[in-house]
């Protein structure tokens, strides 16, 4: 089927409509194309309303590379704990990311493409706001730890949760490769499973005996509960209006597992805050799209990956002591 589609489109992308169709198809296989968004950027630019049609050599090169990937995509390899892990990073004005790989014979085989796994949970605040919201839909990026917090009614059904996910995550960041969650009835419903299948997302659900397997969401819940204590009081029923502030406080704080803030790792630069007016930095940040920006962000990714590896090693050592 994939080869037939490539054949149908592959004889030429003479219109913007065909380019969009081709990119839509490619998006399903983006996990198997290293630096996908950078590779596809000439074609993506061509679909913008303010861009005149010009099938350049860059567009032709991007088209051929993506077409080859569709017909010959490489399956992700199962990690071998006995072999060393190799981290490669990439950053540009079009896409950023990191790849975890291992040696397989004479070539490197990818194990995981970072930034394509999310953890999620429904958190009960125990207080119903004046707008009828009681739960918080917590969504976290597995690599950057960036989080979105969305207020929702206690009685929200699966279709409503799906719409919130689409509007507050997929619309901005694309379809995740995997979704980690507990076994809430909405996550185990047939509608949720069907939607995940259509998105090309693998569902990873924790068991009732081991809810800690969804550690990122559980940790985030504790952070949100701590921050919300200042806003959820017997007479304060507008806590949902404070959620953007809560999310901002979390995303701009240094995360223990990466050594940098989720926002800085997610965006590639450190967002300005009120403190910046009191304690201005002498050095200016690089402009996105420049070589300096790419170099700085690659260093930031490497730093985060190394910090994560050290945190995981410390956790494993701690677990072994208690066995």
226: CATH: 3.30.420.10
Alpha-carbon distances of 209 from 73, 204, 221, rounded to whole Å: 37, 15, 19
Which long-range contacts (C-beta less than 8 Å, at least 24 apart) are formed by 151-156? 151/240, 151/243, 152/122, 154/124, 154/128, 156/186
Q: What is the mean pLDDT of residues 31-35?
A: 65
Q: Which of 48, 44, 47 is nearest to 66 (CA)?
A: 44
How far apart are the C-alpha atoms of 251 and 245, rounded to whole Å?
Answer: 10
Residues 125 and 154 in one domain: yes
User: 300 in a domain, yes or no?
Assistant: no
Q: Are residues 17 and 81 in the same domain?
A: no
180 in the same domain as 134? yes
Which carries the bigger pLDDT value, residue 95 or residue 255?
255
Q: Are residues 178 and 232 in the same domain?
A: yes
- Asked whether residue 310 is domain-assigned, the answer is no
CA separation for the pair 256, 87 (Å, rounded): 20
Do residues 273 and 129 share a domain? yes
CA pair distance 195, 290, nearest whole angstrom: 38
In this prediction, residue 227 has a pLDDT band, given cuts at 50, 70 and 90, of confident
Please state, rounded to an integer, the average pLDDT across all residues of the chain. 74
Q: Would the pLDDT of 277 be above 60? A: no
First to last CA, the chain: 50
Please state whether beta strands 135-141 and 96-104 pair in parallel, antiparallel, or not at all (unpaired): unpaired
Query: Is 6 or 318 the better-scoring residue by pLDDT?
Result: 318
**Same domain for 154 and 185?**
yes
Percent of the chain residues past pLDDT 70, beyond the cut: 59
Query: How many structural domains compose the chain?
Result: 3
**Is residue 201 domain-resident?**
yes
* Domain span holding position 99: 76-112
Q: Residue 312: what pLDDT?
A: 54
Beta bridge partners of residue 91, listed in sequence order: 96
> Judging by beta carbons within 10 Å of its beta carbon (0-12, 13-18, 19+), is residue 187 exposed, middle or buried?
buried
* Distance, C-alpha 55 to centroid of its chain: 31
pTM of the model: 0.58
Q: Is the pLDDT of residue 200 over 90?
A: no
What mean pLDDT comes out for the span 9-22?
Answer: 73
């Amino acid at each position: 089927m994939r080869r037939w589609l490539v054949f149908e489109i592959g004889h030429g992308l003479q219109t913007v409509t065909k380019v969009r169709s081709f990119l839509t198809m490619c998006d399903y296989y983006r996990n198997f194309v290293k630096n996908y968004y950078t590779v596809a950027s000439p074609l993506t630019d061509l679909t913008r309303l303010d861009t005149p049609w010009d099938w350049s050599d860059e567009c032709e090169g991007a088209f051929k590379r993506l077409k080859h990937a569709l017909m010959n995509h490489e399956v992700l390899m199962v990690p071998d704990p006995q072999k060393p892990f190799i981290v490669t990073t990439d950053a540009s004005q079009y896409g950023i990311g990191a790849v975890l790989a291992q040696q397989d014979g004479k070539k490197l085989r990818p194990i995981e493409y970072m930034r394509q796994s999310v953890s999620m949970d429904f958190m009960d605040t125990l207080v119903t706001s004046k707008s009828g919201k009681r739960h918080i839909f917590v969504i976290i990026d597995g690599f950057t730890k960036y989080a979105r917090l969305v207020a929702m009614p206690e009685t929200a059904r699966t279709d409503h949760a799906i719409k919130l996910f689409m509007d507050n995550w997929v619309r901005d960041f694309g379809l995740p490769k995997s979704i980690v969650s507990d076994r809430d009835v909405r996550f185990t419903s047939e509608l949720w499973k069907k939607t995940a299948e259509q998105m090309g997302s693998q569902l990873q659900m924790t068991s009732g005996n081991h809810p800690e397997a969804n550690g990122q969401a559980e940790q985030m819940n504790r952070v949100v509960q701590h921050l919300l204590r200042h806003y959820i009081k017997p007479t304060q029923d507008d806590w949902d209006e404070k959620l953007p502030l809560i999310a901002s406080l979390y995303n701009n704080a240094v995360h223990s597992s990466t050594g940098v803030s989720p926002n800085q790792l997610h965006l590639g630069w450190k967002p300005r805050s009120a403190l910046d007016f009191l304690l201005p930095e002498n050095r200016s940040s690089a402009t996105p799209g420049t070589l300096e920006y790419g170099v700085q962000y690659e260093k930031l990714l490497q730093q985060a990956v190394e910090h994560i590896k050290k945190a995981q090693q410390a956790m494993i050592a701690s677990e072994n002591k208690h066995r």
